[in-house]
Amino acid sequence: MTTAEIKAMATEYIMNTYGERSLAFVRGEEAYLWDADGKKYLDFLGGLAVNGLGHCHPNVVAAIREQAGKLLHISNLYYIEPQARLAKMLIDNSDMDQCFFCNSGAEANEAGIKLARKYTRDQGRDAYEIITMDNSFHGRTMATITATAQPKYHKGFEPMVPGFTYVPYDDLSAVEAAISSKTCGILVEAIQSEGGVNTPGSGYIEGLRELCDKHDLVLILDEVQTAMGRLGPLFGYQSYGIIPDIITMAKSLGGGAPIGAMLAKGQIAASFVPGTHAATFGGNPLVTAAACATVETILDENLGENAVKMGDYLEFKLMGLKDQYPIKEVRGKGLLRGLVLSVDANELAAKCIENGLITICTNDYILRFLPPLNITAAHVDEAVSIVEKSLAETV
């Protein structure tokens, strides 16, 4: 089918929740995509941080093929061998003690919110409120869009779920002022990706840990986009030198397969008992086999180290354009980066795609990059060359 044929069919039969779409991709390999009309693109969006190993990584493909020939799905009424292996791998490489598996980042955050409330009630405290940050993004379910402190996501879905309090990001005094006898936890992203690639200042994440310790609160770190080596360490919290109580993740965990996970410390994890939470597809054999291959590859090939090296190189190359174009700064860490412009970036993002680079505009003025962790300097050079060409054609 051609792009036009795919678009016509999708427009007629699929709800219009994603707006106007111009491309239909049919094949991917490493850092590249091809559309239905045969045009090649360099992918520096990575399926919104999902394709951490690029497209169709041979280790992930082999794991899926092998598992598909043995067992696609069995319910969580039974033990699942690749699920157990994945859980051990995640726990062995983190400071957490136990896992819960689900299907997405929103579900992982829902699980973290439920666990924080359940644990607090188990401790005999009638507290349920969770503090989240302005410009955050935690998912699309009713609880997670409420946790997302951006009014544009709330519009039309009111009333919101009770029990969430919003404060400015990167402001410890505002957090402390918001803590009350009803507060049970703090939910924060290691870096606010969708909210503008906002990186916390020195001491902020560490200060949240101290506030949680001081007030007996649960610290939930949303690592949906920052886990799996994107910031360097396997988990983003490890770059801040603290240990949260709960970590949520999804995106790159499955190498393209849909899987989410919520990890927690022992005493807190123990508050989930039979009947408190579940997910039919959560951690099924196929997706956990894919995730095992993904995590093994990230660790074996030291891709977190490459993410730091290539992220710094990407920043260096982009900042080299600053004298010629209206560029203010490059935000982020590792391979989560945002090119901040002093002019609207929506036209630039569209022009980059037209010129063969997949990226996205965030908050109108920021071009966001989430490339695979195994990109090379040659990929960065190619991407920046397209950005430069697109800047010349739009600003």
Quick: pLDDT tens for 128-152: 999 999 999 999 999 999 999 999 9
What is the pLDDT averaged over residues 225-238?
A: 98
Which of 222, 245, 265, 317 is labelled catalytic?
A: 222
Mean pLDDT in residue range 251-263: 98
CB-based contact 52:392 (threshold 8 Å): no
Angle 115-370-166 from CA coordinates, rounded to 5°: 40
For residue 292, the model assigns a pLDDT of 98
Query: Does the pLDDT of residue 46 top 90, yes or no?
Result: yes
Rounded to whole angstroms, how far apart are CA atoms 176 and 379? Answer: 44
Q: Could you tell me how many helices (H) and strands (E) the chain has, helices first? A: 13, 15
Identify the weakest region by mean pLDDT among 13-27, 128-142, 212-226, 256-270: 13-27
* C-beta atoms surrounding 20 within 10 Å: 7
Measured in whole angstroms, the distance separating CA 322 from the mean position of its chain's CA atoms is 28
Q: Which of 76, 53, 102 is nearest to 296 (CA)?
A: 53
Q: Which helix (H) or strand (E) holds 129?
A: strand 129-133
Q: What is the crossing angle of helices 285-300 and 81-92, to 10°?
A: 30
Instruction: Output Rg (C-alpha) for the chain, integer angstroms.
Output: 21
Catalytic one of 100, 101, 245, 251: 251
Query: Does the structure show a pLDDT above 90 at 22?
Result: no
pLDDT for the residue numbered 21: 86
Instruction: Compute the distance between CA of residue 356 and CA of residue 112 in angstroms, rounded to an integer.
Output: 39
**Percent share of the chain, pLDDT over 90:** 99
- Asked about 214 being catalytic, the answer comes back as no
Q: What is the mean pLDDT of residues 9-21?
A: 92
Is it the case that residue 49 has pLDDT exceeding 90? yes
CA 66 from chain centre, in angstroms, equals: 27
pLDDT at 124 over 90: yes
Average pLDDT over residues 184-196: 97
Contact status, residue 104 vs residue 139, Cβ threshold 8 Å:
yes
Contact 122, 269 (CB under 8 A): no
Distances (CA, A) of 107 to 100, 150, 361: 10, 19, 25
Query: For residue 364, what are the CA distances in angstroms to 356, 388, 390?
Result: 21, 18, 16
pLDDT band at residue 78 using 50, 70 and 90 as cut-offs: very high
**Residue 168: what pLDDT?**
97
Q: Is the pLDDT of residue 330 over 90?
A: yes
Identity of residue 38: G
- DSSP code at position 245: S
164 is annotated as an active-site residue: no
Residue 131 bridge partners (DSSP)? 165, 186
- CA pair distance 40, 25, nearest whole angstrom: 9
Catalytic residue, from 100, 137, 235, 272: name it: 137
Categorize the per-residue pLDDT at 20 as very low, low, confident or very high, splitting at 50, 70 and 90: confident
Sign of the Cα torsion 209, 302, 85, 113 reads positive
Complete edge-to-edge strand list for the sheet that includes strand 32-35: 25-29, 32-35, 40-43, 357-358
272 catalytic, yes or no? no
Predicted confidence band at 249 (pLDDT cuts at 50, 70, 90)? Answer: very high
Q: Which of 12-21, 45-54, 231-240, 369-378 has the lowest mean pLDDT?
A: 12-21
Sheet holding 360-362, edge to edge: 327-333, 336-341, 366-369, 360-362
Query: Could you tell me how far CA 58 lies from the centroid of its own chain?
Result: 23
CA nearest to 334, candidates 302, 382, 295: 302
Which residues, including other chains, have CB under 8 Å from residue 25's CB and lie 6 or more apart? 33, 34, 35, 36, 41
Confidence of residue 166 (pLDDT cuts 50, 70, 90): very high
